[in-house]
Amino acid sequence: MQAPAVNRSVLVLLAGAAWSIVGLVLIGVAVNWLVSSGGSIIVPLLIGAVAGFLVYYYGFSRLARTNLIRIAELSPAKSKVCVFAFQAWRSYLIIMVMMLLGFTLRHLPIPRLWLAPVYLAIGLGLVLSSGLYYARLQ
């Protein structure tokens, strides 16, 4: 059986969309927690936003650039590559670990007001980094 194959530009679009969707979901969860906390949300919001820019600049933007290079270099003799190659196999493992960590954090007795900046930072970092994928499409 042959793997489903697409042009590299589709992989770039899929990667950007995946990062955007996950990032927006995390931001939505964080904002919901902040709003429903009943307390002052200014400080946790600022902490999450500043941390999000740092996560973007020092972490996810570098990962996105590396991923873009990897996609460009996939099977140079072929015009189409496997649709699941929009992330490296190693990244799928990292995603599973991050999901497990998120699940664990949500089920620990940690106030949501403290978790919200973490979710906001990761979500914002993902959304900002997804722009690097979209920029490559132009």
The SS3 assignment for 47 reads: helix
Q: Give the pLDDT of residue 110.
A: 92
What is the distance in angstroms between the CA of the first residue and the CA of the last residue of the chain?
Answer: 33
Helix spans in 8-88 (H): 8-36, 42-55, 61-73
Longest CA span, the chain = 58
Q: Give the pLDDT of residue 90.
A: 84
Q: Give the pLDDT of residue 92.
A: 85
Q: Which of 131, 121, 129, 134 is nearest to 27 (CA)?
A: 121
Q: Note whether 126 and 19 are within 8 A (CB).
A: yes
Mean pLDDT for each consecutive 10-residue tract of the chain (138 residues)? 84 95 97 90 95 97 94 87 84 90 93 94 97 93
Q: Note whether 133 and 23 are within 8 A (CB).
A: no
Q: Give the pLDDT of residue 109.
A: 95
Number of domains in the chain: 1
- Which structural domain, as residue segments, surrounds residue 31? 5-137
